[in-house]
RNA sequence: GGAGAGGUACCCAAGUGGCCAAAGGGGGCAGACUGUAAAUCUGUUGGCUGACGCCUUCGGAGGUUCAAAUCCUCCCCUCUCCA
């Protein structure tokens, strides 16, 4: 706990690692007043309820929020159950799936469970913006929309780029920043925090808050973490993410797959490593004293430790070395229970079997894998596309290094589903 | 309302009657190599089949033709300019 620090010291802590802080002076001023009045600052983070898996990109922001909490401030975690239906205009997503009430609630619970790996539950309030946006009348919407101009809206890079490129921009997308702004109006937010891609929305919110006669929120943006591909920002829909609630082995393995140039970046944004430590490591790698592979292993272990503890980190590292350096079997090999009806004369086409077990998406794909030597049965590579095998209990099927299934042949096959 | 351009596989994009299950790139997957699931190189990338081959797919529905992503009709959607 770092509660009770002087406002100027708080500013120092809070601005560290930020892309932008608008305005630093305002923050200091607000902290001073709050401290005099003995109240915490109200800090807002908005979240889209469509993909409730929190990944390392979100964690960058959440860890900053945690700092706010440790300084004694109050977090409002706004679940965008209303705005989520408008459709997030950033990025490629065309139309968002409409979520049902239950889905939203379920996703919100998933969120809560995960954010508390990082946030302090005592100082976190989870709220739903449908509660106030859903009550806004059309007249209220018009009033809100009258507070911002088309020209200013088009300043947003995302809109103007799509507009110039001839990609459709729908009118309701303009409502997205406005709705987000109204969240801040409703909650009388002191500080809003988010990824640097949110800068436009946050700044628009400041103006709109002023228009409603409120003090504009202070804006704090943080770097966007690149995904595992090193190109796009991390996001679940792009599949380049590492979820903080993913299995430790998965977290470890996925971090081992980042391209080398990304190593310092990940250390900086995903671990507690300070700039000095990172710089030292970069130098060591440049000198050849530190193998990038080992740096990555350190990164992976550190991140796993952060969210799953020491033991999980050790185990994940061990498993990774076993599977990928020594080519051993993964520790958890799922069983597949083969239906005897698939057998013909005690045998079954290997391609068919691979498709059944899920090791290949289809029998055609299985044939391709076979042709490429990517399939092993009980340790031996099988090449022939049309190969038939005589399955036996405990037979081990492997595709590539990562996927394996153990065959089970029950004598009794009572199926009640 | 008028004029024009477009809609192709997971994504971008070529293809304007048969040689098209559809070029190329990205992404994915597999193999080689390695220091790792990095980088690089190679292969592969609709489904069914041991195989010959068959079936489904180029916005949607019909039609012409021995043969349609490609031609015709209607419809839906997007963009640009004009009003």
Residues 375-404/A with CB within 7 Å of nucleic chain B are 385-386, 399-403
| CA separation for the pair A225, A303 (Å, rounded) | 14
Per-residue model confidence as pLDDT tens digits over A62-71: 999 999 999 9
Nucleotide nearest to A238 in CA–C1' terms: B27
A239 CA from B69 C1′ (Å) = 31
| CA separation for the pair A380, A120 (Å, rounded) | 52
A362 CA from B57 C1′ (Å) = 17
Q: Please state the ipTM of this predicted complex.
A: 0.84
> Is residue A413's pLDDT more than 50?
no
Give A218 or A412, the one with higher predicted confidence: A218
What is the mean pLDDT of the segment spanning A25-46? 92
Beta bridge partners of A243: A55
| CA separation for the pair A127, A391 (Å, rounded) | 55
Nucleotide nearest to A297 in CA–C1' terms: B36
Nucleotide nearest to A388 in CA–C1' terms: B50
Give A209 or A287, the one with higher predicted confidence: A209
pLDDT at position A99: 63
> Is residue A90's pLDDT more than 50?
no
Under 8 Å between Cβ of A196 and A20: yes
A362 CA from B64 C1′ (Å) = 38
| CA separation for the pair A97, A273 (Å, rounded) | 39
What is the mean pLDDT of the segment spanning A275-280? 88
Element (H, E) at A142: helix A138-145
The token duo for A379 is 């340790």
| CA separation for the pair A58, A65 (Å, rounded) | 11
A328 HSE (CA, 13 A, CB side): 11
- Main-chain dihedrals φ then ψ at residue A355, nearest 5 degrees: -70, -40
pLDDT at position A354: 93
Nucleotide nearest to A251 in CA–C1' terms: B37
Under 8 Å between Cβ of A53 and A243: yes
> Is residue A92's pLDDT more than 50?
no
**pLDDT more than 70, % of chain A:** 93
Per-residue model confidence as pLDDT tens digits over A344-374: 888 889 999 999 999 999 999 999 999 888 8
Under 8 Å between Cβ of A191 and A41: yes
Residues 155-214/A with CB within 7 Å of nucleic chain B are 163, 166-169
What is the mean pLDDT of the segment spanning A312-322? 90
> Is residue A16's pLDDT more than 90?
no
Under 8 Å between Cβ of A43 and A193: yes
First to last CA, chain A: 54
Query: Three-state DSSP class for A273?
Result: coil
pLDDT, chain A, mean: 86
**SS3 track for A185-249:** HHHCCCEEEEEHHHHHHHHHHHHHHHHCCCCCCEEEEECCCECCCCCCECCHHHCCCCECCCCHH
Per-residue model confidence as pLDDT tens digits over A205-263: 999 999 898 999 999 999 988 888 887 888 887 778 899 988 898 899 999 988 888 89
What is the mean pLDDT of the segment spanning A27-56? 89
B5: residue with closest CA to C1': A166
Nucleotide nearest to A293 in CA–C1' terms: B35
Q: How sure is the predictor about A87, in pLDDT bands with cuts at 50, 70 and 90?
A: low
Using alpha carbons, list the distances in angstroms from residue A30 to A18, A25, A190, A216, A225: 18, 9, 8, 11, 29
pLDDT at position A410: 67
CA-based angle A133:A139:A140, to the nearest 5? Answer: 35
pLDDT at position A44: 96
Residue with the two structure tokens 């390392």: A56
A267 CA from B42 C1′ (Å) = 34
Give A328 or A76, the one with higher predicted confidence: A76
Strand blocks (E) in A96-173: 124-128
A229 touches strand B (CB under 7 A): yes
Query: Three-state DSSP class for A333?
Result: coil
pLDDT at position A303: 94
A277 touches strand B (CB under 7 A): no
A209 CA from B28 C1′ (Å) = 46
Q: How sure is the predictor about A414, in pLDDT bands with cuts at 50, 70 and 90?
A: very low
What is the mean pLDDT of the segment spanning A299-325? 90
Domains of chain A are 7-222 (3.40.50.620), 248-325 (1.10.240.10), 335-415 (3.10.290.10)
pTM for the predicted model, two decimal places: 0.81
Protein-proximal positions, strand B, CB < 7 A: 27-32, 35-39, 43-51, 78-80
* Residue from A127, A263, A114 nearest A186 by CA: A127
Nucleotide nearest to A255 in CA–C1' terms: B37
Nucleotide nearest to A398 in CA–C1' terms: B30
pLDDT at position A85: 66
Per-residue model confidence as pLDDT tens digits over A139-173: 999 899 888 888 888 888 778 887 877 778 888 88
Nucleotide nearest to A260 in CA–C1' terms: B38
| CA separation for the pair A10, A184 (Å, rounded) | 22
B38: residue with closest CA to C1': A259
A170 CA from B6 C1′ (Å) = 19
> Is residue A52's pLDDT more than 80?
no
DSSP 8-state class, residue A377 = E
Residues 283-342/A with CB within 7 Å of nucleic chain B are 291-293, 296, 320, 324-325
């Amino acid at each position: 706990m770092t509660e009770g620090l002087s406002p100027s010291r708080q500013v120092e802590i809070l601005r560290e690692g930020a892309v932008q802080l608008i305005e630093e002076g305002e923050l200091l001023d607000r902290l001073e007043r709050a401290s005099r009045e003995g109240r915490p600052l109200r800090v807002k983070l908005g979240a889209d309820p469509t993909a409730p898996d929190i990944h390392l990109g979100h964690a960058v922001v959440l860890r900053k929020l945690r700092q706010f909490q440790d300084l004694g401030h109050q977090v409002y975690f706004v679940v965008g159950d209303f705005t989520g239906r408008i459709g997030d205009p950033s990025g490629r997503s065309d139309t968002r799936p409409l979520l049902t009430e239950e889905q939203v609630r379920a996703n919100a619970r998933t969120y809560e469970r995960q954010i508390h790996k990082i946030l302090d539950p005592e100082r976190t309030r989870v709220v739903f913006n449908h509660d106030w946006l859903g009550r806004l009348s059309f007249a209220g919407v018009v009033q809100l929309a009258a507070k911002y101009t088309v020209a200013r809206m088009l300043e947003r890079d995302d809109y103007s780029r799509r507009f110039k490129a001839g990609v459709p921009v729908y009118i309701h997308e303009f409502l997205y920043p406005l709705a987000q702004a109204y969240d801040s109006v409703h909650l009388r937010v002191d500080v809003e925090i988010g990824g640097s891609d949110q800068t436009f929305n946050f700044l628009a919110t400041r103006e709109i808050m002023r228009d409603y006669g409120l003090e504009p929120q202070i804006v704090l943006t943080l770097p966007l973490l690149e995904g595992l591909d090193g190109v796009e920002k991390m996001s679940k829909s792009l599949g380049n993410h590492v979820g903080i609630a993913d299995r430790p082995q998965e977290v470890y393995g996925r971090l081992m797959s980042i391209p080398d140039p990304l190593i310092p970046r990940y250390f900086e944004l995903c671990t507690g490593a300070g700039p000095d430590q990172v710089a030292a490591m970069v130098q060591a790698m440049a000198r050849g004293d530190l193998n990038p592979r080992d740096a990555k292993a350190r990164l992976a272990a550190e991140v796993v430790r952060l969210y799953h503890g020491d033991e999980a980190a050790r185990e994940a590292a061990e498993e990774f070395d076993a599977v990928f350096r020594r080519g051993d079997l993964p520790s958890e090999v799922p069983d597949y229970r083969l239906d005897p009806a698939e057998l013909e004369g005690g045998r079954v086409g290997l391609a068919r079997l691979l498709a059944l077990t899920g090791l290949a998406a289809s029998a055609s794909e299985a044939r391709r894998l076979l042709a490429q030597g990517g399939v092993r049965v009980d340790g031996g590579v099988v090449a022939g596309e049309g190969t038939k095998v005589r399955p036996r209990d405990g037979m081990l099927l492997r595709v590539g290094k990562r996927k394996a299934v153990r065959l089970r042949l029950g004598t009794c096959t009572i199926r009640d589903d």
